[in-house]
Amino acid sequence: MANSGEAAKSAQWRDPTARAYVQIERVTKSFGDFKAVDDVSLKIYQGEIFCLLGASGCGKTTLLRMLGGFETPSSGRILIDGEDMTGVPPYERPVNMMFQSYALFPHMNVEQNVAFGLKQDRVPKAEIAERVATMLELVKLGGFAKRKPHQLSGGQKQRVALARSLVKRPKLLLLDEPLGALDKKLREHTQFELISLQDKLGVTFLVVTHDQEEAMTLASRIGVMDHGEIVQAGTPSEIYEFPSSKFVADFVGSVNIFEGKLIEDEPEHVRIGSDELGATIYVSHGISAAPEAIVWAAVRPEKIFMSTAPPGGTDNVVRGAVQDIAYLGDLSIYLVKLPTGKVVRVTQPNTSRHAEAITWDQQVYLSWDASSPVVVTR
Amino acid sequence: MRASAHLQRWGITGRGLVVALPYLWLLLFFVIPFVIVLKISFSDIDLAIPPYKPLIEWIGKNSLAIKVDFNNYAFLFTDSLYIHAFLNSIKVAFISTLLCLIIGYPVAYGIARSAPKTRNLLLLLVVLPFWTSLLLRVYAWIGLLKANGVINNVLTWLGVIHEPLNMLYTPFAMYVGIVYSYLPFLILPLYANLEKMDWELLEAAEDLGCRPWQAFYKITLPLSRNGMLAGSMLVFIPAVGEFVIPALLGGPNALMIGRVLWDEFFSNRAWPVASAVAILLLILLVPFMMWYQSVQARESAGAR
């Protein structure tokens, strides 16, 4: 995972003395009875790429627009570099936004688009020319200065929009689904370009996306949003490996969730009896939950082993029949139906070209390490 | 089958017919009348029915004389009345267009930015006057503007004025009439243009440091240029030749080319001169019409 360099390495969010660059304090935005953003508090540090990840309608775009000044919070406040942004209009904020539609001015060429913000600030002409040229070189559009937006490809437009929003050297750059309109190959390529550009310029990025892969690749930290709230914030691996709720586990990547009851609760391990699984789940770490509470064990598909011979031990082992196989080249996805009716998703890398293939309707054993399940209580 | 095959041999197809129909229509109702008017403009006045001499005449047994008279055109340039009328018409049309633009732009903008639900209602209100005859509506203005008309009565009653304002049969009344009648022609194309605009561009402009009015001036205005031009042409072109409104509201000294044409045609029965006036008016307006066409073409091509 190629996370943004400096910020990820220094991990300022773990340092309680570090100063937050962007501070969102108990911000709520209501439209009538509907709370688009519900009491969100968040600290973003200088040089970070912070991704707000969530499904459409979760409030992530509203939060972004409040940072840009296009919406005013119903309550709470936003500070950028220590300055209260309440009542500051978009044109006076040290923030720039890259719009999802790019919003390039169709009557201006690439150069004029990029220069627009600087002209507005009455930067001297010579300096404008120099900064625009540098920025266009940086996004590899040096030869396209005189083109009109409608003469550009999607990827080129995206880079013009990026150049235009970066040329004013904002303290915070807001990116609304920056790669949403690009096709898959280009998107992957652009993700890495975006990271290296951010590394070079050191601008703090706040990215809104519904694409978890995009968030995982770009972000130093991810904030997962649902129903106007940030349900979990953390590094991509924290979010993936230690989801705090069923929702996060399910939203980020694919996961098998087994409902069960806590039958053994020790500081060093827990045992969960799951009717859904038809077996007990042994987890090699303690959790904090009431005894006999209903909990959920989440196991990632790639952490499940599949074999035709019974593995050793009795915990974390179930038997089932292969119901479906999807061959993806690098790996295969197996859907295994348990006697209880529950279908478990298993992914296996195709390490050998001539492996003895597991086929449809075959009886298999599924097992996983005691450290693999994540137990969540909500 | 057999019949259509037969037709096809003669080059007649369904598609051909559909395309031919509008051309036929234009030929019958535009080209032929135009040629007739053009012909009359080159002939001499005569006390006959119709009141002009034929262009082509048999003289003697075997000779055909074609007599083309340019005097009608020359006459238009010798009598200052015509030049004056032409210039005045252009002035009136220009000012009217400008007024329509000043009034119509905010209206079109307001409709384009209104909620989709109310938008249709507002558009309906713009088009609503067309449901009544233009003549009736212009007559109604007489009732509003005359000395003991509605406006004067209300103002007197309110105590704003003590003597009735002289509004009817003044240039003011004429402009009111023209602007009122032609306003929808400006609003509709301008609305169609503004409605297509991506309002996110304004947010982008504000994000880059524009105050809202600067964003309007730098983004909305240039992007709606084609809409403004199209609407303006739709007002300007017919307003130049406008006859009814100046005649009814403008009073005796509202000298416009439409009025001159009417007088030459009906009062003086000088069909050749009237035709020459009509042709000259057309020549005058052709550049504007071509400009309008090119604007329309650019608009539909989407390249702005």
Asked if residue B17 is part of any domain, the answer here is no
Nearest-angstrom CA–CA distance, A51 and A162? 17
CATH fold of the domain at A254-376? OB fold (Dihydrolipoamide Acetyltransferase, E2P) (2.40.50)
Nearest Cβ partner for B200 among A101, A148, A150: A101
User: What is the model's pLDDT at position A10?
Assistant: 66
**CB of A170 closer than 8 Å to CB of A90:** no
Question: Is B207 in contact with A90 (Cβ distance < 8 A)?
Answer: yes
The yes-or-no verdict on residue A287 having pLDDT over 80 is no
Chain centroid, CA B73 distance in Å: 24
User: What is the model's pLDDT at position B304?
Assistant: 45
What is each CA distance from B139 to A100, B35, B173, B174, B253, in whole angstroms? 54, 34, 12, 12, 19
**For residue B77, what is the domain's CATH number?**
1.10.3720.10
Hey, is the C-beta of A105 within 8 angstroms of any chain B C-beta?
yes
**CB of B186 closer than 8 Å to CB of B231:** yes
User: What is the model's pLDDT at position A1?
Assistant: 41
| % pLDDT > 70, chain A | 97
Helix (H) or strand (E) holding A348: strand A343-349
Rounded to an integer, the average pLDDT of B237-243 is 91
pTM of structure: 0.81
Rounded to an integer, the average pLDDT of B225-233 is 91
Q: Which A residues, 49 through 88, put their C-beta within 8 Å of a C-beta on chain B? A: 68-70
Question: Is A91 in contact with B210 (Cβ distance < 8 A)?
Answer: yes
Q: Is the ipTM of this complex over 0.90?
A: no
Nearest-angstrom CA–CA distance, B10 and B6? 7
Chain B contact set for A95 (CB, 8 A): 207
Rounded to an integer, the average pLDDT of A298-315 is 87
| Number of structural domains found in chain B | 1
Looking at every residue in chain B, the average pLDDT score rounds to: 89
Report whether CATH 1.20.120.160 matches the domain A5-94+170-247.
no
Per-residue pLDDT of A107-146, as tens digits, reads 999 999 999 999 999 999 999 999 999 999 988 898 999 9
Question: Is B304 in contact with A164 (Cβ distance < 8 A)?
Answer: no
Asked if residue B269 is part of any domain, the answer here is yes
User: What is the model's pLDDT at position A125?
Assistant: 94
Rounded to an integer, the average pLDDT of A42-57 is 92
Who has greater pLDDT, B66 or A45?
Answer: A45
The yes-or-no verdict on residue B303 having pLDDT over 80 is no
Chain B contact set for A101 (CB, 8 A): 198, 200
Nearest alpha carbon to residue A46 among A155, A194, A170, A204: A204
Strands (E), B240-301: none
Chain A contact set for B203 (CB, 8 A): 68, 70, 90, 97, 99, 103
The yes-or-no verdict on residue B283 having pLDDT over 50 is yes
Question: What are the sequence ranges of the domains in chain A?
Answer: 5-94+170-247, 254-376
| % pLDDT > 90, chain A | 56
Residue range(s) defining the domain that contains residue B206:
72-301
Per-residue pLDDT of A16-42, as tens digits, reads 778 888 999 999 999 999 999 999 999
User: What is the model's pLDDT at position A8?
Assistant: 52
**CB of A370 closer than 8 Å to CB of A283:** yes
Per-residue pLDDT of A53-102, as tens digits, reads 999 889 999 999 999 999 999 999 999 999 999 989 999 999 999 999 99
Nearest alpha carbon to residue B127 among B107, B98, B151, B102: B107
Nearest-angstrom CA–CA distance, A366 and A47? 43
